[in-house]
Amino acid sequence: MAARRSADAGGADDPFTKHPTFESLDSKITQTRQLTKAAKASLTELSALMERQELATAEFAKKLAKLQPQEQNPTVSAALAKLARELELVGRLGESGGLRGCASSLDALGSSAAEANGRLKAWDGAMKERKRAQKELANSKGSFGTAGQTRALSAAHDKVQNSNKALDETAQHFENERSKVLQSALSDAVYRNIEYHAKALELWSGMYAPCNGIVAGDMMEYLAPTRGGDEFKAQRRGEAAVSAPVPVTTAVAEAEDSSDSDS
């Protein structure tokens, strides 16, 4: 009769009192679903952003490669050539697909949550059924006899205890799977971002020197091909000689020669 009195009183040892693991697992499943949804959405967005950046970088490289042969300033031409080569490599890093894979790997987390939730609901249903059966047995007015009723109640109690143990095992299994999936997906996402930015930083750093080395050229030299080439250059040198100031020593010598010749 002890089992019956315990069940009727609903005390601390009542096997039909809501098991603490039930509430904990139910809360963790809800939290996991929210985390999965947020992580997948963010990783998918980052992947799309990285893909757009890769495409834009590759397109920039194509435009620079097309314009570079037309550049007359040698320092600008060198910078454009370097940029075109390196930007093409940046555009081919291709880590956006890896981030999409990380987002997809979180689907396993959703599957684990769904499985745990199914077991949780099954446990809850079984618990309610056993509680109903025990109450019916407890209200049987001793139809099975005191000894038989006690044994039946004891058996029901044992079944509930076994269900509680199975629930604990389900909760631990879910926690193990949850941690494993999160560790794999999140660390992989972080590593791929580190790898992408490290490679991109190396390539971008190599572009700095030629860009920083751009200096203004001689515009007249750039016009030479359209104005007679070497002849134009020679004319420019001649003009420069005529327009150059006459040194003082040269002027004095010329004046002395002229004086001697007059005398």
Instruction: For residue range 231-249, list pLDDT tens digits in order.
Output: 555 655 555 444 445 454 5
Domain count, the chain: 2
Q: Check: CB of residue 78 under 8 Å from CB of residue 209.
A: no
The amino acid that residue 83 corresponds to is L
Is the same domain home to 52 and 170? Answer: yes
Average pLDDT, rounded, for the chain: 78
Q: Are residues 94 and 124 in the same domain?
A: yes
Asked if residue 213 and residue 225 are part of one domain, the reply reads no
Last residue of a domain, one of 179, 199, 217: 217
Q: What is the DSSP secondary structure assignment for residue 140, as one 8-state letter?
A: S
Is 134 in the same domain as 247? no
Same domain, 17 and 54: yes
Query: What does each C-alpha distance from 39 to 105, 106, 170, 210 come to in angstroms?
Result: 11, 8, 24, 40
Q: Are residues 231 and 212 in the same domain?
A: no
Does 128 share its domain with 41? yes
Is 125 buried (19+), middle (13-18) or exposed (0-12) by CB count in 10 A? exposed
Question: Rounded mean pLDDT of 215-229?
Answer: 71
- 202 and 258 together in one domain: no
| Residue predicted with more confidence, 45 or 136 | 45
Helix H or strand E segment including 227: none
Check residue 68 and give its pLDDT. Answer: 93
| Neighbouring C-beta atoms of residue 57, cutoff 10 Å | 20
User: Counting every residue, how long is the chain?
Assistant: 263
Band of residue 7 on the pLDDT scale cut at 50, 70, 90: very low
CATH assignment at residue 133: 1.20.1270.60
With tokens 């599957």, the residue in question is 111
Whether 122 and 196 share a structural domain: yes
Calpha distance 80→117 (Å, rounded)? 59
Higher pLDDT, 206 or 155: 206
Q: What is the pLDDT of residue 122?
A: 80
Give residue 210's pLDDT.
Answer: 92
pTM given for the model: 0.66
Q: Which long-range contacts (CB under 8 A, 24 or more apart) does 118-124 make?
A: 119/167, 119/170, 120/22, 120/25, 120/26, 120/29, 120/167, 120/170, 123/22, 123/163, 123/166, 123/167, 123/170, 124/22
- Domain region containing 259: 221-263
Residue 3 has pLDDT above 60, yes or no: no
